[in-house]
Amino acid sequence: MPAAAPAPTAANTTSSGSGQTVCVTGAGGFIASWIVKLLLERGYTVRGTVRNPDDSKNSHLKELEGAEERLTLHKVDLLDLESVKAVINGCDGIIHTASPVTDNPEEMVEPAVNGAKNVIIAAAEAKVRRVVFTSSIGAVYMDPSRNIDEVVDESCWSNLEYCKNTKNWYCYGKAVAEQAAWDEAKARGVDLVVVNPVLVLGPLLQSTMNASTIHILKYLTGSAKTYANATQAYVHVKDVALAHVLVYEIPSASGRYLCSESSLHRGELVEILAKYFPEYPIPTKCSDEKNPRAKAYTFSNKRLKDLGLEFTPVHQCLYDTVKSLQDKGHLPLPTK
């Protein structure tokens, strides 16, 4: 049984954030909370943007080591350029993680695009050193014409027409928001670097559930009686946080960085869960027993490895996720 994953390592980073101020948008989110934690540990002063600084949903941020001295939370509407400018003015850098997570086109597309543009505009005026933008694998691999045997790398983009036709507004919104950020950054001379994570798992810092951990929870509660003939790529949240900080700190970092440890078929996923947590009613049957097992895309993570990021193995990632769901009370401990 593995212990909780240690902090991920990066061989070539000795940078200290002492004296630097970084703005993290959407600071209370799953990935952003870990980014804030890591920045504070490295000595940065952090300005976090949230919808409501007094909301109990953000209380975990105030409990982080160094938060009392070097973290401030700010109520910011990313669609209001003036409020974005107010928080970014005086910052050395920005990590823009805030984005809607929905398949409703009206709630997804325009807010994601305009929020990204406003951050870049404010960054240009404040003359920040670098903006790191959290995109998604959804902006990269959604293309039915791509051969499943081709390695998906940073040069790949999702097919927008395909996303629209299949009503995959989340992937569509992520792709157009990332493209808008690149266009705006180029026009305004802003140094932009993008991280494209796959499905992110691992321990929760916040008390509330998030969409990616619900993906695992259903296989433990008995609500899923079978598993789909489908694949998914996974990465540990600590690795995603470190990826953002590395591409901010390392001067030579540029362009896009796919952040993925490995892909699993749902059958492999439930096997790992059953190995570590046999006491839960984990499904053993596939919902599709007629067709061959779906093949997974291979996502390149070479660019992040070249920066020194050592990825946490996927089985550790799954173990940490379940332990966190237990610790936070989202998953009852099994009765003996």
Q: Residues with catalytic annotation?
A: 174
Q: Round to whole Å and give the CA distance between 235 and 178.
A: 20
Cα distances (angstroms) measured from residue 25 to each of 59, 125, 209? 16, 17, 19
Nearest Cα to Cα of residue 50 among 32, 65, 37: 32
Q: How many CA atoms lie within 13 A of 263 on its CB side?
A: 16
CB 294 within 8 A of CB 229: yes
Sheet with 231-236: list strands edge to edge: 199-201, 231-236, 262-265
User: What residue type is assigned to position 248 of the chain?
Assistant: Y
Nearest Cα to Cα of residue 216 among 133, 325, 334: 325
Q: Round to whole Å and give the CA distance between 278 and 272.
A: 10
CB 203 within 8 A of CB 320: yes
Q: Round to whole Å and give the CA distance between 27 and 321.
A: 20
CB 204 within 8 A of CB 213: yes
Q: How many CA atoms lie within 13 A of 297 on its CB side?
A: 24
Per-residue DSSP letter, 307? T
Q: Round to whole Å and give the CA distance between 13 and 310.
A: 12
